[in-house]
């Protein structure tokens, strides 16, 4: 298939004491943002390391752009490792140019792009500082810039938001989406479910070394709909109608009442809306879509109980 950028098939990796990946398969579509989710120690980083050829799988294959992953493919991958590290004693600008050169950019081009990125991120004044003099967030920004600088087709970010304040996390999200719009394919692992809803097209949820949930974010959320609606009314009172819905809770704030109800599966939304509108003066009527956070917790705890 042409639009698959990268796929891992039946990848397994065992360490001395535990299994990190057990028959894991993922498919990453070209030009999409792929979220690799899972609790700590689920095996996300191991999978990412295998894709980057830092470590080798015990069994299984990784396919890159339609061919088996070859040593030279890593030059088309930009990788932001979870264990952030750069040369501490080296000056920021110099070090960024060096690493960019190793990725195949020539010096002048590397410098031009770096200045652009540094100005965008507001870290230009630190160009001549040693890395160890920078704050952690600042170092993260530098490392992010270094990762994307050579504009590889595939970008892999391992926990890109860790250590960022909300403002900078927002900045990073914007940059990731912008990179996607430019045609880059992005894999990132995270615990930050809010960001998953905002920027991921597809996800795979790994728990205890297995993929327990995968698919497009919209589909995943759709399939986890529980039929819960939120109704805000300014007057009237919602009747109990057990054959149509169940009132989960209600709360009053000044003159507005908020109800949460769960409809029965056989009832259509239109039916529900009509009978609710009969009872109360509607201010709003909306289906409560499940958040990725709930889905995450639900799925993980369910698979832990199995």
Q: Name the residues that contact another protein, by CB under 8 A.
A: 14-16, 49, 52-56, 58, 71, 74-75, 77, 79, 81, 83-90, 98-99, 101-103, 106-107, 146
Q: How far is the CB of 64 from another protein (least distance, A)?
A: 13
User: What is the full DSSP assignment across 91-112?
Assistant: BHHHHHHHHHHHTT--HHHHHH
Q: How far is the CB of 17 from another protein (least distance, A)?
A: 9
Q: How far is the CB of 220 from another protein (least distance, A)?
A: 30
Q: How far is the CB of 143 from another protein (least distance, A)?
A: 9
Q: How far is the CB of 273 from another protein (least distance, A)?
A: 54
Question: Which CB sits closer to another protein, 153 or 230?
Answer: 153
DSSP classification of residue 192: -
Going by C-alpha positions, the residue among 247, 244, 232 that lies closest to residue 285 is 232
Question: Which CB sits closer to another protein, 44 or 103?
Answer: 103
Q: Are 216 and 197 in contact (CB under 8 A)?
A: no
Question: Which CB sits closer to another protein, 72 or 249?
Answer: 72
Question: Which CB sits closer to another protein, 90 or 282?
Answer: 90
Radius of gyration of the chain (CA): 24
Question: Which CB sits closer to another protein, 5 or 99?
Answer: 99
- Count the alpha carbons within 13 Å of 256 in the hemisphere toward its beta carbon: 8
Q: Are 259 and 249 in contact (CB under 8 A)?
A: yes
- Count the alpha carbons within 13 Å of 103 in the hemisphere toward its beta carbon: 23
């Amino acid at each position: 298939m042409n639009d698959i950028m990268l796929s891992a098939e039946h990848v397994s990796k065992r360490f001395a004491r535990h299994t990190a990946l057990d028959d894991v398969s993922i498919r990453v579509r070209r030009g999409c943002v792929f979220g690799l989710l899972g609790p700590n120690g689920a095996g996300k980083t191991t999978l990412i390391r295998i894709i980057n050829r830092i470590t080798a799988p015990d069994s299984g294959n990784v396919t890159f752009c339609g061919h088996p992953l070859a040593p030279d493919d890593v030059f088309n991958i930009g990788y932001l490792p979870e264990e952030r590290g750069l040369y501490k004693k080296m000056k920021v600008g110099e070090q960024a140019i060096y690493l960019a050169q190793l990725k195949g950019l020539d010096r002048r081009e590397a410098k031009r792009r770096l200045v652009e990125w540094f100005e965008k991120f507001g870290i230009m004044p630190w160009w001549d500082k040693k890395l160890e003099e920078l704050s952690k967030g600042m170092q993260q920004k530098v490392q992010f810039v270094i990762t994307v600088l050579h504009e590889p087709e595939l970008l892999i970010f391992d926990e890109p938001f860790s250590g960022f304040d909300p403002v900078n996390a927002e900045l990073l999200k914007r940059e990731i989406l912008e990179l996607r719009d430019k045609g880059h394919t992005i894999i990132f692992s995270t615990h930050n479910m809010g960001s998953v809803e905002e920027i991921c097209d597809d996800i795979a949820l790994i728990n205890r070394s297995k993929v327990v949930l995968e698919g497009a974010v919209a589909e995943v959320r759709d399939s986890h709909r529980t039929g819960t609606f939120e109704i805000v009314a300014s007057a009237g009172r919602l009747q109990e109608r057990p054959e149509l819905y169940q009132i989960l809770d209600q709360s009053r704030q000044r003159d507005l009442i908020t109800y949460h109800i769960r409809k029965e599966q056989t009832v259509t939304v239109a039916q529900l809306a009509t009978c609710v509108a009969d009872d109360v003066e509607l201010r709003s009527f909306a289906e409560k879509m499940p958040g990725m956070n709930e889905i995450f917790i639900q799925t993980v705890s369910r698979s832990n109980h199995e």
